[in-house]
Amino acid sequence: MANPSENLINLCRAAVEAHRVATAQPYTVEGWRPWMDAAETFQAAVTAEANQEPKQNRFKLEQATKRIVLHPELDEK
């Protein structure tokens, strides 16, 4: 199982929050830029963390991070 760092979890949370803010208003490039930037930062961090020792599967690392952020109730069971 992939083991995301707290930093990766926090970056994912930031991207999710930026998405919520961006999609709560009519589309504008300026309004969506923070979301796009946060998502890009998260994706770059996933790649960097996956390549650290011990190496992790990038896809599994991203999915584990999103599961923790988007579905915390699954870890409570």
pLDDT at 35 over 90: yes
pLDDT at 64 over 80: yes
How confident is the prediction for the chain on average, in pLDDT? 94
| pLDDT, tens only, 38-51 | 999 999 999 999 99
- Do 18 and 24 touch, CB atoms closer than 8 A? no
The separation between the first and the last C-alpha atoms of the chain, rounded to the nearest angstrom, is: 17
What's the confidence (pLDDT) of residue 74?
A: 80
pLDDT at 77 over 80: no
What's the confidence (pLDDT) of residue 21?
A: 97
